[in-house]
């Protein structure tokens, strides 16, 4: 294991940059600092100082368009390598998300499937799927959930519920429909299980202006107090926006046009 004493002079490897980006995705921006236990732990594994790792994370943050609007600045003259990893992930989230978990498992000396959250909902493979394909799907789903929930500080973007056991990382455009955006956190929303199901079935949508829209189908149940309090009360209300990875407006528009029940 490297000691980190030579941290300032040792160039960052591609694998180190990839796992650093993995951690960037999993941390709310407000929690990126050298005292964060997750930063300290990964820095120890990499043989880096927590301060140098935290700086890399901030360099990634400065590439995020939403954070850039808040004038987040890292060391721009030293961030070309981070920019390359950022662009690679955005071109193929599924490939590099899995790659980053593989590297992390190797660094920790544990089997890859031990890193997978027990929250993963991937079933046993259909006929023809290999064990490796199933593990990859579970690893990627676990990564997607962690990234989306952390961006919203583990709170439902509609109701503000903050009980992790009741929260899911819902896809704006379903997993099976849009392969390119399966792992894209901007195709994700942090929702409680009830509102995620309603969103998935088109009973509600979120407009490109980030407001909740309730279907006419649900509005027919205006005499039902439960429907009123859980759904109609939020009609037209703005959602809680994530700290990073803002939902893609184009994908929200597709959901509103193609999945939302207008009648």
Position 5 pLDDT exceeds 90: no
More confident residue, 4 or 58: 58
Nearest Cα to Cα of residue 185 among 202, 170, 196, 163: 170
Cα 132 to Cα 162: distance, rounded to the nearest angstrom: 33
Q: Give the pLDDT mean for 58-83.
A: 75
Nearest Cα to Cα of residue 243 among 87, 24, 20: 24
Q: So where are the chain's domains?
A: 14-115, 150-258
Q: Give the pLDDT mean for 168-184.
A: 92
Q: What is the pLDDT of residues 120-161, one digit of tens each?
A: 444 444 555 677 778 888 888 999 999 999 999 999 999 999
Position 70 pLDDT exceeds 50: yes
Instruction: Provide the percentage of residues in the chain whose pLDDT is more than 90.
Output: 65
For 204, the enclosing helix (H) or strand (E) is strand 204-206
Cα 170 to Cα 182: distance, rounded to the nearest angstrom: 11
Cβ atoms of residues 138 and 15 within 8 Å: no
Helix, strand, coil percentages (3-state) for the chain, rounded to 5, are 50, 5, 40
Cβ atoms of residues 242 and 152 within 8 Å: yes
Q: What is the pLDDT of residue 162?
A: 95
Helices (H), 118-188: 131-151
């Amino acid at each position: 294991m490297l000691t980190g004493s030579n941290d300032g002079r040792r160039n960052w490897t591609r694998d180190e940059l990839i796992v650093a980006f993995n951690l960037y995705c999993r941390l709310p921006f407000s929690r990126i600092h050298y005292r964060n236990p997750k930063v300290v732990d990964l820095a120890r594994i990499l043989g880096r100082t927590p301060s140098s790792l935290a700086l890399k994370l901030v360099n990634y943050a400065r590439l995020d368009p939403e954070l850039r609007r808040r004038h987040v600045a890292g060391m721009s003259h030293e961030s070309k390598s981070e920019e390359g990893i950022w662009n690679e992930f955005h071109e193929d989230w599924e490939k590099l998300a899995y790659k980053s978990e593989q590297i992390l498992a190797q660094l920790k000396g544990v089997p890859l499937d031990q890193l997978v959250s027990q929250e993963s909902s991937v079933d046993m493979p259909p006929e023809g799927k290999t064990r490796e394909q199933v593990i990859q799907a579970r690893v990627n789903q676990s990564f997607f959930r962690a990234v989306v929930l952390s961006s919203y500080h583990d709170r439902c973007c509609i109701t503000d519920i903050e009980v992790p056991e009741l929260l899911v990382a819902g896809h704006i455009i379903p997993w099976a429909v849009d392969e390119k955006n399966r792992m894209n956190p901007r195709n994700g929303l942090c929702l409680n299980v009830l509102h995620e199901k309603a969103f998935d079935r088109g009973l509600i949508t979120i407009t490109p202006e980030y407001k909740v829209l309730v279907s006419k189908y649900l509005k027919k149940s205006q005499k039902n107090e439960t429907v009123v309090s859980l759904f109609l009360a939020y009609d037209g209300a703005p959602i809680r926006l994530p700290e990073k990875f803002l939902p893609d407006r184009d994908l929200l528009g597709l959901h509103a046009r193609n999945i939302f029940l207008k009648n």
